[in-house]
A and B are shown apart, each in its own frame.
Chain A
Amino acid sequence: MTPVAPNGGELSLALLAMGLPLLSFFLVFFVTRPRVTLSCAVSLVCSGLPLLAAIWLLAGHWRMEAPILWELTWMRGGGVAVTFGFLLDPLSLLMLCIVTGVSFLVQVYSLGYMAGDPGKAKYYAFLSLFAWSMISLVLASGLMQLYIFWELVGLSSYLLIGFWHHKFSASQAGKKAFVMTRLGDLGFFLGIIVLLLNLGDLSILGLNQQAATRLTPGLLTASALLIFCGVVGKSAQFPLLTWLPDAMEGPTPVSALLHSATMVAAGVYLVSRLFPFFQGSPQALGWVLVIGTVTMLLSSTMAMVASDIKQVWAYSTVSQLGFMFMGLGAGGYFAGVYHLTTHAAFKALLFLCSGVFIHHYATNDFFVMARSGARSLKVPMLSLTVAGAALSGVWPLAGFFSKETVLSALAELPNPAWLWLGLLGAGLTAYYTFRLLFVMWRPRRTQPPAGHAEHGEGGHHGAAVYWVMAAPLLVLAVLTALLGAAGPALESFLAWGRPLPPGAHHGWLVAASVVVVAAGAGLAWLEFGRAGAAQQGFLSRIPGLWNLFANRWYLDWLYRWLLDHVVYGLFSRLFTLNDRRVVDGGIDGFCRATLGAGWLLSLLQSGLLQYNLFTMVLVMALVGLYFLLV
């Protein structure tokens, strides 16, 4: 498919979307920071206009037939040119809408959530930076540009996760997110270098069209797997998944942004972006499938025992990302992208709802929230239920349809085990989601409800704040309910409007997934929902499993052990030794050798004038003799 150049309107709209958030970051950070209201206004305008531009672009290109490409050469060396620009195709347009939409809603919501925070202006500056990095990543036309913004996304999420840096746990979580994603990004960078050396072309269209034919299978697999390393870090897949649950130390709107449209979505987006490239290597896709499955199951089990509302959603994000990778790994391009889309809507909604409760009751524990009367907040409670039902895949909400496409993609695989694992994951998802919902809806008054005095800093800020926070919830709830119906339209849009291959529609699959979801929800009802239920999961009767899940399968413990024994114990010690013995020792030895040589040479200086004279005469005589004889 040959790309076409953008016309004036497309060019200016795309550049507007890419430029405004950056402008807003600089304006807010360097100029208007002391004036909070002005800063918020600047930031909101600069995130609202890109949203309008994105919707306009999407609507105007609904039936587009060729990608629109605009590039400037940034640098050129040898036969390789690194370009900057934008690439508009169905995938990037859809993702652009998701990113700008969620970040705009989050910015509106933050008006209420961050009211009264002393760093509110700075917070808005960071949000703008985050939006800018993600928008530019989505529109990037080449892998190098994508990588630069990939790192900028990591930087801005570090800034936002550690936004309340006076809290030790928050600054630790920020560092953890930064370092763990960086570990994966190392692989990504190596992959880019492999491609650069062997292909000499980093443009996304070029990679997707030519890599499979111009690279040997081994190199293709190696570079795809290296790039997938970066994805594993960014999208919090096994084994680099524990940074995401910790990242809830940041403000809740940041978690909503991070978990739905920006940071973790970048990984799924990259695999979808390079999907034809990944398809060139079945081994690489196989690894994507395996990692996705392992991650989904591990994090679902973690979510079953968490009692912190944000942590439940964080684990569920990890597991839903795993689900997307399962879909992509099974060859279902649309399945992965569609689930990413619907997940962005309902996961942002889940976090924003949780934010209202956290703001209101100043606690993260949903058992405590329920006892304090969370049911009385109607809008967030209903939105939470809609989003939770969508997450677990209840008809007719968005999650049902997107999960269905993923499961159909899995059903296409020759090995039925993947489908069973996918269904198991769907059941676990339904269980932990309904566990939370039932606890929230049917609180047990085992303890007297906490008095209002205990609500602390979260406190009440009045109806205005409540409605500023509730409005984005309603928008997202409507989207969550409607996105399911948009599936076929999106599918044909993503397939360039071409007629779809007759999809194998598995009727029994729908039934199976409904049964699985009903089983998960039913188990949750028995344990948490019905009158007189003990509100204790079956897992609490199996302490071994409970501990395993509550300690995140001891992954953090494993990292600690690896850090202490491998990194500090082996590498750091070797490097210290190298530093002390080889580097310091080399310089010391050189100094000592110079001193010794100087001392040896000083022995020649007797201090007696005539020895010097005699040497001089002797040398001259010898030189004379040489000239005489030769």
Chain B
Amino acid sequence: MNSLHTYLFIALVLFCIGLFGLLKRRSLIGMLISVELMLNAVGLNFMAFNRFLAPDPAVGQVAVLFIMGIAAAEAAIALSLILALFRKIRSINVEQARQLKG
């Protein structure tokens, strides 16, 4: 069982959970968490390919470190946007933020 397919399968499951959460949750915090899940699924993929296939182990790890950095930055920006939105409409529910409706 300790093969590439196991990790890829777990990453797929994680990604799909994240995607489902992103589309399903109406709370912006929930959507942010789902995005984190998807990012981590991608990171897991990188690590798995790195462990089983890559001749030079450093490459995949560098990519994952980048993803973690980007995730942190993205979380900071997203949280500040959410705060700004909350100040404006006193809610973080996306159903309340429909001012751009055509």
Q: Which residues of A are at the interface with B, using a C-beta cutoff of 8 A?
A: 601-610, 613-614, 617
Size of the B side of the interface (Cβ < 8 Å), in residues, is 14
- Which of B23, B24, B26, B102 makes the CB contact (< 8 A) with A605? B102
Main secondary structure of the interface of B (DSSP, over half): loop
- Answer whether A610 and B102 are a contact pair too, CB < 8 Å, given A617-B19, A617-B23: no
Chain A residue contacts of B102, Cβ below 8 A: 601-607
Assembled-state Cα–Cα distance A617/B26 (Å): 17
| B56 sits at the interface (CB 8 A) | no
Interface-side segment among B41-49, B71-79, B93-101: B93-101
Chain B residue contacts of A606, Cβ below 8 A: 98, 101-102
A624 to nearest B CB, angstroms? 13
Contact B101 A605 (CB under 8 A): yes
Contact A610 B23 (CB under 8 A): yes
- Which of A603, A608, A614 makes the CB contact (< 8 A) with B94? A608
Assembled-state Cα–Cα distance A609/B97 (Å): 9
Assembled-state Cα–Cα distance A603/B31 (Å): 25
Contact A608 B23 (CB under 8 A): no
B100 to nearest A CB, angstroms? 5
Assembled-state Cα–Cα distance A617/B101 (Å): 20
Beta-carbon nearest neighbor of A609 in chain B: B94
Assembled-state Cα–Cα distance A602/B23 (Å): 22
| B39 sits at the interface (CB 8 A) | no
| B22 sits at the interface (CB 8 A) | yes
15 A-B interface contacts by CB (under 8 A): A604-B102, A605-B100, A605-B102, A606-B101, A606-B102, A607-B97, A607-B99, A607-B100, A609-B94, A609-B97, A610-B23, A610-B24, A610-B94, A614-B23, A617-B19
Chain B residue contacts of A617, Cβ below 8 A: 19, 23
Chain B residue contacts of A613, Cβ below 8 A: 22-23
Interface string of B43-61 (1 = CB under 8 A from A): 0000000000000000000
Assembled-state Cα–Cα distance A609/B100 (Å): 10
Chain A residue contacts of B31, Cβ below 8 A: 609
Contact A608 B98 (CB under 8 A): yes
Assembled-state Cα–Cα distance A234/B24 (Å): 87
Assembled-state Cα–Cα distance A607/B96 (Å): 10
Assembled-state Cα–Cα distance A174/B55 (Å): 98
- Which of B19, B22, B23, B98 makes the CB contact (< 8 A) with A607? B98
B23 to nearest A CB, angstroms? 5
Chain A residue contacts of B19, Cβ below 8 A: 617
A608 to nearest B CB, angstroms? 6
Question: Beyond A605-B100, A610-B26, A613-B22: 19 further Cβ-contacts under 8 Å?
Answer: A603-B102, A604-B102, A605-B101, A606-B101, A606-B102, A607-B100, A607-B102, A608-B94, A608-B95, A608-B98, A609-B31, A609-B94, A609-B97, A610-B22, A610-B23, A610-B24, A610-B94, A617-B19, A617-B23
A341 to nearest B CB, angstroms? 84
Interface string of B25-45 (1 = CB under 8 A from A): 010000100000000000000
Beta-carbon nearest neighbor of A598 in chain B: B102
Assembled-state Cα–Cα distance A601/B23 (Å): 23
Chain B residue contacts of A614, Cβ below 8 A: 23
Chain A residue contacts of B101, Cβ below 8 A: 605-607
Assembled-state Cα–Cα distance A601/B102 (Å): 8
Beta-carbon nearest neighbor of B95 in chain A: A608
Beta-carbon nearest neighbor of B26 in chain A: A610
Beta-carbon nearest neighbor of B25 in chain A: A610
Interface string of B61-102 (1 = CB under 8 A from A): 000000000000000000000000000000000110111111
Beta-carbon nearest neighbor of A617 in chain B: B19
Assembled-state Cα–Cα distance A608/B100 (Å): 8
Assembled-state Cα–Cα distance A613/B22 (Å): 8
B33 to nearest A CB, angstroms? 15
For the complex of A and B, 5 pairs with smallest distance between CB atoms: A602-B102, A607-B101, A605-B102, A607-B98, A609-B94
B82 to nearest A CB, angstroms? 12
